[in-house]
A and B are shown apart, each in its own frame.
Chain A
Amino acid sequence: MTPKALFAASATAALLLALPANAAELTIGFSQIGSESGWRAAETSVSKQEAAKRKVNFKIADAQQKQENQIKAIRSFIAQNVDAIFLAPVVSTGWDSVLKEAKEAKIPVVLLDRDIDPSGKELYLTAVTSDSVHEGAVAGDWLAKTVGDKACNVVELQGTVGASVAANRKKGFDTAIAKHANLKVVRSQTGDFTRAKGKEVMESFIKAEGGGKNICAVYAHNDDMMVGAIQAMKEAGLKPGKDILTVSIDAVPDIFKAMVAGEANATVELTPNMAGPAFDAVAAFKEKGTVPPKWIQTESRLLTAADNPQKEYDGKKGLGY
C-alpha cells in the first residue's frame, strides 16, 4: 500500500511541478464522477498521463458520485474560463441548464465514457465512449472463432440486473453467437459484477452442469466476476482456460495475471483512455476549427494469452485498478 501511495503522491507532485513550467497552451477542466470502481480510478490516472503528454493544464474535480457537485464543478470551470470541459456524467439527465451556460460562454464540452439524455445533443462537442454492444460482440466472435464447428455449451455471468452495460454486453454476445448453431448459452445468471457473486454463481453452474463436464466456455460481463469464476472452477478440480474456455470484458490487471497462469483465455478491453481522443478532438477544434463527429467510439481491443499478458499486467497495475 505504502509504496503505491508514495508513487501516486510523487506522480501527482511531479505533475503539479511540471505544469506551470511548461506554460500550457490549453487549460481543460475535468468533472470526474468519483471513485466508484477500479476502472474509474484508472481512467483518472490515464487522463492525467495523457494531459501531461500533451502539456495540457489539466484540472480534475472529484464529484463523489453526486450530480450537484458536477454541476458546481462545471460552473467553476466556466468562471475560470477554461478552454474546454470534460464531463463524465454520473446520471444521464439534468444537464441542460449548466451545459447551456457553458455553450453561452463558448466553452466546448466533451462527454467521457457515458452519454447524456438525447435532448442535449447540440449542447456538447462530442462524446467519447465505448460501445458495450460491440464489446459483447467482440467476445462472442472470439469464442465462435476459437471453438470452430464443435458443439459448445456456454454459461454466462451477467452484470447487475437492470444495468444498461449488462444488457448491452448480453445483446452483443447473443447476436454474435446467433450465427453459430453450435454455440448455445445454457445458463445465464447475474453475478452483480463482483468477484464473490461470480464465484458463487459459477459454483452453482458447475453443480448444475454435471460437475462442469457439460460446460465448454464461460462468458462474464466483467473480469472481476471471471476472476471469481476461475477460483470456483479450480476448487471444483477443473482447469479454467483448458477444460473450460473463458472470455470476459474490461481488461483489469488481475485477468492478465490469470492469463499468465494459463487460467484465462481472452478479455475485451474497455480502455481507460477516454481522455486521449478527447484531448485530440479539442485541440483540432481549437486550432483548425475541425468539428469532430458527435460520437467518438473507443477501440474495444481483444486481448488473449498470445498478446503478452505479462506486459499488459505490468502496464496496468499502477493505474489504480
Chain B
Amino acid sequence: MTALLPRRGLAQILALIVILAVDRVVSPQFFDLRLQDGRLFGSLIDVLNRGTPVALLSLGMVLVIATRGIDLSVGAIMAISGAIAASLADSHGLPVVLAAALGAGLVCGLWNGFLVAVLGMQPIVATLILMVAGRGIAQLITEGRIVTFSSPDLVWLGNGSILGIPMPVAIALGMLILTGAVVRGSALGLLIEATGGNARASELAGVGTRAMILAVYVWCGVCAALAGVIAAADIMGADANNAGLWLELDAILAVVIGGTSLFGGRFSLVLAVLGALIIQTMNTGILLSGYPPEFNLLVKAVVVLAVLLLQSPKLSGISGVVARLRGTKP
C-alpha cells in the first residue's frame, strides 16, 4: 500500500497535518485519548468514527470516477439500506439483516451500472434517477417515520469496538484493505483505469469495458449500503429523510481532494480515504471551535479551496518558476 504513496500523496498529507494542527489550536484537548467502556474516546476517534460513512462512500466512488463516471445515488442507497436494516433488525439475525441491506445496495449498483454500461446513459443523469427515487423508496420502507430498533447485534456494528477501535472504523479499514487487495493485487485496477482513460481504445485492446463499468457501480452500491447500515446502527434507527443526505457530494469531494481526476484514468484508494478524513477533520474542528453555525459552510468552503489549490498543477507550476528564478531546483 505504501507503494501507492509516492510524491502524489504529499499535498494531501500536508493538508491533513495543517488541519490537525489548527484543530489542536482551537481545541487544546484535541489529541487526548482515553478508554471509555473498553472503547477509545477522544476527538481523534470522533474524526475517524464520523468520517467512516464518507470514507466508505469514497471507496466506491473513486473506482466509479476512475472509469470517468460519477454516482450521485450513494446517499439515497444509504437511506435504503439503513431503512431495510432497521426494519429487519429486531425480527431477524445479523447475517440476514446484513445480507438484505447489502443485497439492496448491490441491486441499486446493478441498476446504475445497467443504465450506464448497457444503455449508455450519461452517468450523472443515470444515477440522478436513483438519487431522487431512492430516497422515496427508503421513505416507503420506513413509512416516513424514523424506524428504531434495539437489536444488540446491529447496535454493536455502530457503537461496539474491537481492541478499543470503534467498529465502524475497523469496518472501513477492512473494506479499504479488501478493495485495495482486489483492484491493486490484480490487473483489475489497471483495467479500470484503462476504461476511464480511453474506453474505445481499451475495448479494441480487449478490455471488457462494459463489465468493468458494471462492476464499479455494483461495488459503489455495496459500499454505500454498508455506510447506510453503519449510519443506522450509529443512531439505532433509520431516518429515511436525512440518512446520507448530500453525502454523495462529500464523497465526490473526498475523491477529488484525494487527487483523482473527474476525467478518469487514474485513482488512489488510500488518498480518497485520506480525502474523507481531511473533510471530517475539518468538520470536527468546526464543531469544536465554538463559532456560530452560520460560519460552518463558509469555513469548509475556504479550507476545501485551499486544499485544492495546494495540489493544482498550475500553482505548482508557478512555484516552480519562482524556484527557477531564484536559481534553485524546483
Q: Would you call A199 and B234 a contact (CB within 8 A)?
A: yes
Q: Would you call B87 and A195 a contact (CB within 8 A)?
A: no
Q: Which of the segments A89-97, A202-210, A239-247, A265-273 contacts the partner chain?
A: A202-210
Residues of B within 8 A of A187 (CB): 290
Residues facing A in B6-44 (CB within 8 A) are 27, 29, 36-37, 39, 41-43
A254 at the interface (CB under 8 A from B): yes
- Nearest Cβ on chain B to A293's Cβ, whole angstroms: 33
B202 at the interface (CB under 8 A from A): no
B73 at the interface (CB under 8 A from A): no
Q: Say which residue of B139, B143, B235, B293 sits within 8 Å of A196 (CB atoms).
A: B235
Q: How far is the CA of A236 from the CA of B35 in the complex (A)?
A: 10
Contact flags A196-238 to B (C-beta < 8 A → 1, else 0): 1001110111011000000000000000100110010001110
- For residue B49, which residue of chain A has the nearest CB? A203
Q: How far is the CA of A161 from the CA of B297 in the complex (A)?
A: 11
Q: How far is the CA of A106 from the CA of B236 in the complex (A)?
A: 50
Interface of B: prevailing SS: mixed
- For residue A41, which residue of chain B has the nearest CB? B144
Residues of A within 8 A of B235 (CB): 195-196, 199, 227-228, 231
Q: Which of the segments A30-38, A47-55, A173-181, A278-286 contacts the partner chain?
A: A30-38
Q: How far is the CA of A189 from the CA of B293 in the complex (A)?
A: 5
- For residue B147, which residue of chain A has the nearest CB? A1
**Most chain B beta carbons < 10 A, residue from A187, A199, A207, A321:** A207
Residues of B within 8 A of A189 (CB): 287, 290, 293
**Most chain A beta carbons < 10 A, residue from B237, B284, B296:** B237
Given A199-B234, A203-B46, A190–B241 Cβ distance below 8 Å? no
Q: Say which residue of A192, A204, A237, A321 sits within 8 Å of B284 (CB atoms).
A: A204
A320 at the interface (CB under 8 A from B): yes
Residues facing A in B229-257 (CB within 8 A) are 231, 234-237, 239, 241-243
Q: Would you call A190 and B288 a contact (CB within 8 A)?
A: no
- For residue B287, which residue of chain A has the nearest CB? A204
Q: Would you call B146 and A207 a contact (CB within 8 A)?
A: no
Q: Would you call B242 and A320 a contact (CB within 8 A)?
A: no
- Nearest Cβ on chain A to B299's Cβ, whole angstroms: 13
Q: Would you call A254 and B41 a contact (CB within 8 A)?
A: no
- For residue A35, which residue of chain B has the nearest CB? B144
A5 at the interface (CB under 8 A from B): yes
Q: Would you call A188 and B292 a contact (CB within 8 A)?
A: yes
A130 at the interface (CB under 8 A from B): no
Q: Would you call B231 and A196 a contact (CB within 8 A)?
A: yes
Q: Would you call A236 and B36 a contact (CB within 8 A)?
A: yes
B148 at the interface (CB under 8 A from A): yes
Residues facing A in B245-288 (CB within 8 A) are 284, 287-288
- Chain A count of residues within 8 A CB distance of the other chain: 37
Q: How far is the CA of A36 from the CA of B87 in the complex (A)?
A: 20
Q: Would you call A38 and B146 a contact (CB within 8 A)?
A: yes
Given A38-B146, A207-B27, A207-B29, A200–B42 Cβ distance below 8 Å? no
A4 at the interface (CB under 8 A from B): yes
Contact flags A6-27 to B (C-beta < 8 A → 1, else 0): 0000000000000000000000
A194 at the interface (CB under 8 A from B): yes
Q: Would you call A35 and B29 a contact (CB within 8 A)?
A: no
- For residue B88, which residue of chain A has the nearest CB? A1
Given A5-B143, A41-B144, A235-B159, A195–B237 Cβ distance below 8 Å? yes
Q: Would you call B146 and A254 a contact (CB within 8 A)?
A: yes
- For residue B295, which residue of chain A has the nearest CB? A161
- Nearest Cβ on chain B to A108's Cβ, whole angstroms: 30
- For residue A196, which residue of chain B has the nearest CB? B235
- For residue A189, which residue of chain B has the nearest CB? B293
Q: How far is the CA of A19 from the CA of B80 in the complex (A)?
A: 37
Q: How far is the CA of A195 from the CA of B43 in the complex (A)?
A: 19
Q: Would you call B87 and A190 a contact (CB within 8 A)?
A: no
Q: Would you call B42 and A207 a contact (CB within 8 A)?
A: yes
Residues of B within 8 A of A37 (CB): 144, 241
- For residue A34, which residue of chain B has the nearest CB? B144
- For residue A193, which residue of chain B has the nearest CB? B242
Q: Would you call A1 and B87 a contact (CB within 8 A)?
A: yes
Given A161-B293, A207-B42, A201–B36 Cβ distance below 8 Å? no
- Nearest Cβ on chain A to B228's Cβ, whole angstroms: 12
Q: How far is the CA of A228 from the CA of B236 in the complex (A)?
A: 9
- For residue B236, which residue of chain A has the nearest CB? A231
- Nearest Cβ on chain A to B168's Cβ, whole angstroms: 12
Given A207-B29, A207-B42, A195–B36 Cβ distance below 8 Å? no
CB-CB nearest 8 A-B residue pairs: A204-B287, A190-B293, A35-B144, A194-B242, A195-B235, A207-B43, A237-B36, A208-B288
Contacts A41-B144, A194-B242, A204-B46 known; 19 new A-B pairs at CB < 8 A: A1-B143, A40-B144, A161-B294, A187-B290, A189-B290, A196-B231, A196-B235, A196-B239, A203-B46, A204-B43, A207-B46, A207-B288, A208-B29, A208-B288, A224-B146, A231-B159, A231-B236, A235-B39, A236-B41
Q: What is the interface of chain A, defined by CB distance below 8 A to chain B?
A: 1, 4-5, 35-38, 40-41, 158, 161, 187-190, 192, 194-196, 199-201, 203-205, 207-208, 224, 227-228, 231, 235-237, 254, 320-321
5 contacts between A and B (CB under 8 A): A38-B144, A194-B239, A203-B46, A204-B288, A254-B148
